[in-house]
Structure 1
Amino acid sequence: AGSWAASNHIPVLADRDDVQLVVACRKGEEPLALLKEQFGFEYTTEDYLEALEHDLDAVVVASPSGFHFEHAKAALESGANVLCEKPVTIDPSQAWELDRLARELGQHFVISFGWNYRPIGIEAKRLMDQHGVGQVQHVMVAMASGTRDLLTATGAYEGAAADFAPDWDTWTDPRLSGGGYAPAQLSHAMGLALWLTNDRADQVFSFMNNEAARVDLHDAISIRYQSGATGTLSGASCFQAANAVDLEGEEWPRHQLQVRIFGDEGQLTADLERDFLWIYREDGLDEKVDLPDHAGLYQCDGPPMTLVDLTQGLEVPNRSPGDLGARTVEVIAAAYESASAGGPVSASVT
């Protein structure tokens, strides 16, 4: 139960009358005592195996990314449904193993891609499923967000729990984080883009810019998809207040995220910074969707709410399943391999 779990997942679960918070697990007696005091957990422990002895119905895995495979695998094998933070793993083969395990066990496996549950994400998916753009030929994904302080270990991210400051190594030690901006932020963007296209990367070529940081701050990635489509994935760590749109009443600055999908029959544009969604088709469809305020603001109540609903047997869609997490990790892992090798590399592992 790290900083993001304490600021998002646990409060979302605690607000539900049908959820019993049984056990919290993390390092440190003081933060564990604080979690118990603030949210009413019955038990706390520093041992995740001890936590799983409580016959849990559902588990949230929000440890550093380097431990996700170990923790999620044990939780699934214990019989629990699992929500796992992104990136689901660092190694894509382990991500596919978790997806396979969940399917074999008949367990629900939800990845924490919040935008897939936001109004702009839901509407974009509806448009792609109902109308589409024909054969997808090119996908442009561009993102910038205020993570410069976080990834240079000089400050926290906006929205971090005040009493549970993030450990720098969780974000800046590649052994724990898998890298910098790519897993921290671009995994979100690809979680949305790959959900909309239902495609999978075949080859990846990338350049990365660390500046003076331990991990990448900026990324320029080219992708050839298995469908034959081409794509670009661009990411930048910017200053927290550098946004074109900030609406009153929003918890934190907007992410500067655009996803554009071009096909042989039309195109779809989703601009999450500006709450703008447009589909155009050559057969005459030209729709700019009337979205509510804050439609593109990043919020992550959808994944934990879905975990609970699925655990209770409700028929709700899992908008961020395990295979989507694995396809996302394939891109991120291949990007680092390419940056190191200096050339294009294969992305698909199965």
Structure 2
Amino acid sequence: MSGTVRWGILATGGIAATFTQDLLGLPDAEVVAVASRTEASARAFAERFGIERAYGSWAELVADDDVDVVYVATPHSAHHEAAALALRAGKHVLCEKAFTLDAGQAGELVGLARERGLFLMEAMWTYLNPVVRRMTELVREGAIGEIRTVQADFGFAGDVGPEHRLRDPALGGGALLDLGVYPVSFAHLLLGEPDRVQADALLSPEGTDLNTGILLGWDSGATALLSCSIVGHHATAATVVGTKGRIDLPRDFFHPDHLLLHRAGSSDPAPEKIVTGPGPQGLSGMQYEAVEVMRALRAGETESPLVPLDGSLAVMRTLDAVRDRIGVRYPCDNRAGKGA
């Protein structure tokens, strides 16, 4: 694939709007179509962003011959259905996080993409953020020595009543898949899949997690202390502690604009502030995902080395393990042949 990459947007919520706005800022990307479950919603989205085609069904979008890659922006309870539909239609897919509801669903998507030779990537924009990429380089270079502890949290106190999707198990409700996926993915980025998982949570009457604490352990001796919440305002920050120093990512660690490097034994007590430079004016940071997808497609790659599918599967296994520990169950957990 060369030249302009043509995108189809599947769903019309807030995250779809943000991603589309970023796409429109890229000279080598074109948004050719959008789909929703209702034609009215698709048409309103198309008019807002100047998109030529608006479809009232997902099937029409994935059947469009002018669409090269589909961006799945539905709630995560529909990720499996939407992404599978696109893959079966021969489309490359960028799928929002959490990748799916469980590891079994994620494995089915990965198997389908690999069987058909199609590109598939979880839209974990944190992994592609320039500051986070610089952080991983510093860790590899030994700037803070061997990692001993990772801390990360993500939470807010919102108006989440019993009718809200975050309280509905059928919709994959709870803090874990909406917010906890970020701290868990951050720990995986640095340390890989954990050897041990512990967790505790405050559950809603409906059985979804409102406030969750997670302790991950590795045979190396490293640990990760993670938390997520929809009933408490968190700092939403992260720290990586090593034997020779530490790295702090301030508020909104999942898309930071700088990091602070503390080197043990330095004669200067002030940390080094590392900034990778401002992003393109008016873009949110989601454009980095699109850039990576288009780079991979032009290179003939079906997976991104920066957001590998095996890594997304490992994150889903950890999220499954956390849910098992805290007693959160989704309808998909009962299906035959469920993965683990």
When the two structures are superposed, what TM-score results if normalisation uses the length of structure 2? 0.76
Q: Is the 8 A contact 2:102 2:319 kept in 1?
A: no
Aligned residue for 1:308, secondary structure, equals helix
Structure 1 residues 53-132: aligned runs within 5 Å: 53-55=63-65, 56-131=67-142
Tell which has more relative contact order, 1 or 2 (C-alpha 8 A, sep 6+): 1
- Deviation by residue 1:17-62 (Cα, 9 ceiling, x = unmatched): 4333232111223211101212233322233222211132111011
Q: Is the 8 A contact 2:239 2:248 kept in 1?
A: yes
1:230 counterpart (220, 223, 234): 223
Distance 1:283 1:98 in 2: 48
Structure 1 residues 12-91: aligned runs within 5 Å: 12-55=22-65, 56-91=67-102
Distance 2:150 2:220 in 1: 12
1:325 counterpart (302, 312, 337): 312
- Residues 304 and 174 of structure 1: is their aligned pair in 2 closer, same or farther, counting only changes over 3 Å? farther
Q: Is the 8 A contact 1:141 1:232 kept in 2?
A: yes
How far has the Cα of 1:294 moved from its partner?
7.7
Residue 290 in structure 1 maps to residue 274 in structure 2 = yes
Aligned residue for 2:229, secondary structure, equals strand
Distance 2:317 2:89 in 1: 27
How far has the Cα of 1:312 moved from its partner?
3.5
Aligned residue for 1:256, secondary structure, equals coil
Corresponding residue for 2:5? none
Q: Is the 8 A contact 1:209 1:218 kept in 2?
A: yes
Percentage identity across paired residues of the two chains: 23
- Residues 283 and 326 of structure 1: is their aligned pair in 2 closer, same or farther, counting only changes over 3 Å? farther
Corresponding residue for 1:345? none
Residue 217 in structure 1 maps to residue 210 in structure 2 = yes
Distance 2:313 2:125 in 1: 16
- Deviation by residue 1:172-212 (Cα, 9 ceiling, x = unmatched): 32222x23111111112222231122x10333222112467
- How many residues align? The count is 309
Distance 1:277 1:258 in 2: 12
How far has the Cα of 1:340 moved from its partner?
1.6
Residue 260 in structure 1 maps to residue 247 in structure 2 = no
Q: Is the 8 A contact 1:61 1:82 kept in 2?
A: yes
- Residues 280 and 121 of structure 1: is their aligned pair in 2 closer, same or farther, counting only changes over 3 Å? same
- Deviation by residue 1:229-267 (Cα, 9 ceiling, x = unmatched): 33221123367xx6xxxxxxxxxxxx723333345x434
The alignment yields a C-alpha RMSD, in angstroms, of 3.5
How far has the Cα of 1:214 moved from its partner?
6.4
Corresponding residue for 2:181? 187
How far has the Cα of 1:272 moved from its partner?
2.7
Distance 1:136 1:281 in 2: 13
Q: Is the 8 A contact 1:141 1:233 kept in 2?
A: yes
